[in-house]
């Protein structure tokens, strides 16, 4: 019984964290679906893909090939299931990619990746290098603590509905930013 399980071990939230697309990813997905010309026919790499929503939106907007990079096995399972449910093809790379030879995709996306310093400090210079190599680099972010203060161009802002189980409000003003070269 549920009551027995609650008493027997850790308390689990009802929020399916890795299946729940964070605000940054939701804004980025909306942005791509509304502007398919940005990605149609272009190679897209979605870093820290989570649920895969951004990669799926890119594929639905006509991008190809679309690659999702993610290291968490539950997220990888979610991306695989979500891509199949939405009838799109996503190539999965179960790797960080930041230490590998740079792949130079035409478009790089990253949803909600500035919530902790170690991640942002590694990722932002890598994203800037991709922009310097000619990629369109897009970041979705609701104002997380480690979002860079400079070197970004605001592209769009959305009120994104989210859950108080993981955020401080029901709606987060969330922007899509173009990352400029370093």
Ligand X SMILES: C[S@@+](CC[C@H](N)C(=O)[O-])C[C@H]1O[C@@H](n2cnc3c(N)ncnc32)[C@H](O)[C@@H]1O
Site residues (CB under 6 A) for ligand X?
18, 21-22, 24-25, 48-51, 54, 69-72, 75, 96, 111-112, 115
Nearer to ligand X, 42 or 48 (CB): 48
Nearer to ligand X, 135 or 138 (CB): 138
Structure tokens at 18: 């890795």
Nearer to ligand X, 5 or 76 (CB): 76
- Tell me the closest approach of the beta carbon of residue 112 to ligand X, in angstroms: 4
Kindly write down the DSSP assignment for every residue of 93-153, as one continuous string: E-S--TTSPP---SEEEEES--SSHHHHHHHHHHHHHHHHTT-EEEEEES--TTS-SSSEE
The residue assigned the tokens 């399980």 is 5
- Tell me the closest approach of the beta carbon of residue 8 to ligand X, in angstroms: 27
- Tell me the closest approach of the beta carbon of residue 89 to ligand X, in angstroms: 19
CA angle 28, 169, 179 (to 5 degrees): 30
Nearer to ligand X, 36 or 115 (CB): 115
- Tell me the closest approach of the beta carbon of residue 15 to ligand X, in angstroms: 12
- Phi, then psi, of 171 in degrees rounded to 5: -135, 130
CB 38 within 8 Å of CB 62: no
């Amino acid at each position: 019984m549920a009551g027995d399980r609650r008493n027997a071990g850790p308390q689990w939230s009802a929020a399916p964290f890795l299946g729940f697309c964070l605000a940054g990813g939701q804004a980025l997905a909306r942005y791509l679906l509304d502007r398919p010309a940005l990605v149609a026919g272009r190679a897209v790499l979605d870093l820290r893909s989570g649920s895969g929503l951004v990669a799926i939106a890119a594929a639905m907007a006509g991008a190809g090939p679309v690659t999702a990079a993610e290291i968490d096995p539950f997220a990888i399972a979610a991306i695989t299931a979500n891509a199949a449910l939405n009838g799109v093809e996503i190539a999965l790379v179960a790797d960080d990619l930041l230490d590998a030879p740079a792949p130079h995709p035409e478009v790089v996306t990253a949803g909600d990746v500035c919530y902790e310093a170690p991640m942002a400090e590694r990722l932002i210079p890598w994203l800037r290098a991709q922009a310097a190599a000619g990629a369109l680099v897009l970041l979705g972010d609701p104002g997380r603590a480690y979002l860079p203060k400079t070197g970004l161009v605001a592209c769009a802002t959305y009120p994104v509905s989210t859950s108080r189980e993981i955020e401080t409000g029901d709606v987060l003003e969330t922007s899509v930013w173009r990352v400029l070269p370093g």
